[in-house]
Amino acid sequence: MLNQVLLWIGLIAPWFTLFFMKTDSIKRYMPVSVFVSLLLTIIYEIAYTFEWWTLKVYIVPWGFITNVTFVYGIFLIGTIWIFHFTYRNFKVYLITNSIVDAIFAFGFLQLTEWLGVDEFVNLPLWGAYLIMLSLAFIIYFYQRWQEGIFRTN
C-alpha cells in the first residue's frame, strides 16, 4: 500500500512544479518531453519482452509493462526542467543529464528494487543508465530540430 502511495505521489507531484515555470518554457519543451515519454514507453515494451526488468507494483491496470509514475511523471516533467535550465549549452546539458541519470540509475532504481516496486532481471543498472543517456542525446537533437521548425514559421 505504501508503495502505491509513493507511486501516485511520484506521478502527480512533479506536475505541480510546473506552476513555478514560465508558460513559454512549458510550451517550448513539452513536445520534447512527450516525445521522450513515447520513446520510454516503447523501451518499456521492449524491456517487458526481453525481461530486462519486471514491475511488481503498479498503479494502473496496464502498469505491469510501463512504469506510469516514471514515464509520465518524474521523467516527463524532469525533462522539461532540465531543458529549461540547460538547453542553451550542450556541455552543461550533457553533464547535468549524466549526473541526474547516474543518480536515478544507481540510486533511485536501487531504492525501488529494495522497496519491491521492480526487479532488474536481464539488464544491469549501468544498462539502464546507458539507455537514459542515449535518450538524452536523441531528445537534445530532436529539440534542436523542433526549434528550427518554429524559427522558420
Predicted confidence band at 138 (pLDDT cuts at 50, 70, 90)? very high
Grid coordinates representing 27 are 510550451
pLDDT in tens, 3-56: 999 999 999 999 999 999 999 999 999 999 999 999 999 999 999 999 999 999
**How is the chain split into domains, by residue range?**
27-144
**Cβ atoms of 10 and 68 closer than 8 Å:** no
The residue behind cell 542525446 is: 137
- Residue 153, helix vs strand vs coil: coil
Determine the length of the chain: 153
